């Protein structure tokens, strides 16, 4: 016989669960009634895809709205939007892109979303004893860098090396110039390469989390351009109330915590607010 003092009986528990699910469904329908549309088209640069997928799922659950999401290369999406492609909400990389879309009257407004940061990575155990960017010039250190990655990927990494005044010296130790950061990561994990520079977000992806050592790089070495991600409502939004609500949610503490877990600096965090002021 079940001890009801220990909690709900199985039957009561099932009833409670069904009731909660029904309440959530009704709640979602009531919230959806605030909007004229039941779906929203959202584009973002691919680096944000994992975080947006999780945040979108939460928004859909809360509001009963379908988010039609596309994540792709920032440069490709930006070129498409400037050339006449249409979406309702766009989260892009590089502040200048958002400013250009706004100045061209394609974007109604934008807000700071989050910031990325760069780190050194090594195989677990850090066999080469890497502690700083300067250590990448030591004789015999096997360096793999994503210098062939599409902008701003490879350019940003080279910019860090140049700011540290070790650009040409590090290239002498480079055993592989990779065009894709995702493809490069296994070579660091298995020890083929002893060090690289990547965005912290890569180290939080499920395939790589806990499989590399992560070391900080001084922020003074970061190139400012690729650090900023913004989110804005496009003039093509079919339901402005819905688009505004979605953007406000993504910029809220609840959603920003998701972006932080995925390796980004939330715009609403103390560090994020400083970056908003310093980067514009």
Pairing of strands 174-177, 143-145: parallel
**CA dihedral sign, ordered 215, 217, 222, 228:** positive
Structure confidence at residue 31 (pLDDT): 52
C-alpha dist (Å) from residue 105 to 47, 87, 280: 25, 14, 20
| Percent of residues, the chain, with pLDDT higher than 70 | 89
Residue 137: count other Cβ atoms within 10 Å of its Cβ. 19
Residue 55: count other Cβ atoms within 10 Å of its Cβ. 25
Structure confidence at residue 189 (pLDDT): 98
| Structure confidence by residue, pLDDT tens digits, 64-89 | 999 999 999 877 888 899 999 999 99
Per the CB < 8 A criterion, the answer to whether 87 and 235 are in contact is no
At residue 185, φ and ψ (nearest 5 deg) are -55, -45
Asked if the model's pLDDT at residue 41 lies above 70, the reply is: yes
Asked if the model's pLDDT at residue 225 lies above 80, the reply is: no
| Structure confidence by residue, pLDDT tens digits, 144-193 | 999 988 777 889 999 999 999 999 999 999 999 988 899 999 999 999 99
Q: What is the model's pTM?
A: 0.84
Higher pLDDT, 219 or 125: 125
| Structure confidence by residue, pLDDT tens digits, 92-137 | 998 999 999 999 999 999 999 999 999 999 999 999 999 999 999 9
Residues 6+ positions from 195 with CB-CB distance below 8 Å = 120, 121, 122, 128, 130, 135, 136, 141, 142, 143, 144, 188
Q: Please, what's the b/e burial string for 36-48 (b: 16 or more CB within 10 A of its CB; e: otherwise)?
A: ebeebbbbbbbbb
In SS3 terms, 136-178 reads as HHCCCCCEEECCCCCCCHHHHHHHHHHHCCCHHHHHHHEEEEC
pLDDT mean across residues, the chain: 88
């Amino acid at each position: 016989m079940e001890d009801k003092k220990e909690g709900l009986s199985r039957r009561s528990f099932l009833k409670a669960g069904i009731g909660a699910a029904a309440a959530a469904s009704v709640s979602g329908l009531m919230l959806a009634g605030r909007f004229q549309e039941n779906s929203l088209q959202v584009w973002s640069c691919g680096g944000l895809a994992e975080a947006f997928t999780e945040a979108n799922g939460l928004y859909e659950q809360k509001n009963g709205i379908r988010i039609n999401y596309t994540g792709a290369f920032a440069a490709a999406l930006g070129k498409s939007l400037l050339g006449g492609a249409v979406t309702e909400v766009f989260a892009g990389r590089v502040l200048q892109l958002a400013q250009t879309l706004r100045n061209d009257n394609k974007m109604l407004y934008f807000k700071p979303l989050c910031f990325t940061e760069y780190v050194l990575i090594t195989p677990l155990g850090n066999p080469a004893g890497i502690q700083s960017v300067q250590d990448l010039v030591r004789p015999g250190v096997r360096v793999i860098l994503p210098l062939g990655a599409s902008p701003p990927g490879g350019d940003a990494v080279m910019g860090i090396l140049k700011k540290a005044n070790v650009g040409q010296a590090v290239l002498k130790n480079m055993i592989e110039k990779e065009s894709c950061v995702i493809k490069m990561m296994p070579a660091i994990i298995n020890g083929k390469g002893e060090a690289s520079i990547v965005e912290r977000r890569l180290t939080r992806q499920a395939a790589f989390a806990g499989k590399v050592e992560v070391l900080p790089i001084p922020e003074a070495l970061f190139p400012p351009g690729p650090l900023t991600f913004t989110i804005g409502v496009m003039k093509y939004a079919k339901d402005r109330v819905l688009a505004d609500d979605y953007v406000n949610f993504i910029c809220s503490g609840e959603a920003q915590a998701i972006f932080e877990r995925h390796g980004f600096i939330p715009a609403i965090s103390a560090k994020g607010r400083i970056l908003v002021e310093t980067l514009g």
